[in-house]
């Protein structure tokens, strides 16, 4: 089981049992929602510019980008 927290322009993936950091992910833009962890995925919503917003979905705990959706 994993959780996530924002630290500056990074998301820290944390092992919920030990409290240890598993991975640090740098995200683009300004975070406007998240991180939201559900099962083996984590999502965030970032604003890249005034007209461009993306939802980014990452795999847990490795932090690989699975999907980028333009909103």
Which CATH number is 13's domain given? 2.40.10
pLDDT per position as a tens digit, 28-57: 999 999 999 999 999 999 999 999 999 999
| Cβ atoms within 10 Å of 54's Cβ, excluding its own | 18
Q: What's the pLDDT at 7?
A: 94
Give the pLDDT confidence score for residue 58 in this predicted structure.
97
The total number of structural domains in the chain stands at: 1
Using CA atoms, how far apart are residues 21 and 49, in angstroms rounded to an integer? 30
Q: Name the β-bridge partners of 54.
A: 46, 70
Task: Find the domain containing 54 and state its range.
Answer: 2-70
The whole-model pTM stands at 0.90
Q: What is the pLDDT of residue 19?
A: 94
Cα Rg of the chain (Å, integer): 12
Nearest to 36 by CA among 68, 6, 66: 6
Interval 3-36: pLDDT, tens: 999 999 999 999 999 999 999 999 999 999 999 9
């Amino acid at each position: 089981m994993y959780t996530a927290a924002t630290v500056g322009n990074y998301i820290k993936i944390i092992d919920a049992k030990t409290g240890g950091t598993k991975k640090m992910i740098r995200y683009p833009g300004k975070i406007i929602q998240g991180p939201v962890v559900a099962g083996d995925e984590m999502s965030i919503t970032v604003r890249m510019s005034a007209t461009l917003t993306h939802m980014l979905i990452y795999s847990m705990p490795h932090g690989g980008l699975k999907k980028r959706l333009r909103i």
